[in-house]
Amino acid sequence: MIKGIALTTVWSTDQERDVAFFTGKLGFEVRSDLFMGDVRWVTVGVPGQPDIEFALMRPDGPGLDPESARMLTTLVTKGLIGGGALRTDDCRGDHRRFAAAGVEFVQGPQERPYGVEAIFRDPTGNWYSLTERRAELDLDKPWA
């Protein structure tokens, strides 16, 4: 039986730069950083949430032929691939803090049926939802 999500892939065209982004600008921590042959395996995660990690994977790594790697790199760097949603208890405050640190926002905080959301990109181009969930949100009912 599946017990939860442990790891998700975030495409990275420059792992060193992206580790610095996640740790220096967003406050993540490095969970693993090692080499397996020619492949660098590096993961980051939110402090206090040890069971979920982002694996910063190069699109030109093993498993993809050169044409597919080029296509994937193009899609990621154009900002067409989402890296996920990050939960916060203060979207507006985090938006101000992250923007001041140089995080590129493509959308500032906006009211949504589910709460307040801002959208930002990492240096590779992956986009993320920074979401503050509405306290009274009933997940069992459709959004109005």
Ordered by where they begin, the domains of the chain are 7-133 (3.10.180.10)
Nearest residue to 30 (alpha-carbon basis) of 39, 41, 38: 41
For residue 66, the 8-state DSSP code is H
Q: Do 121 and 106 contact (CB within 8 A), yes or no?
A: yes
Mean predicted lDDT score pLDDT of the chain:
93
Q: What is the pLDDT of residues 19-51, one digit of tens each?
A: 999 999 999 999 999 999 889 999 999 999 999
Q: Do 92 and 116 contact (CB within 8 A), yes or no?
A: yes
Nearest residue to 125 (alpha-carbon basis) of 17, 45, 6, 8: 17
Q: What is the pLDDT of residues 67-95, one digit of tens each?
A: 999 999 999 999 999 989 999 999 999 99
What pLDDT score was predicted for residue 121? 97
For residue 32, the 8-state DSSP code is E
Q: Name the residue type at position 29.
A: E
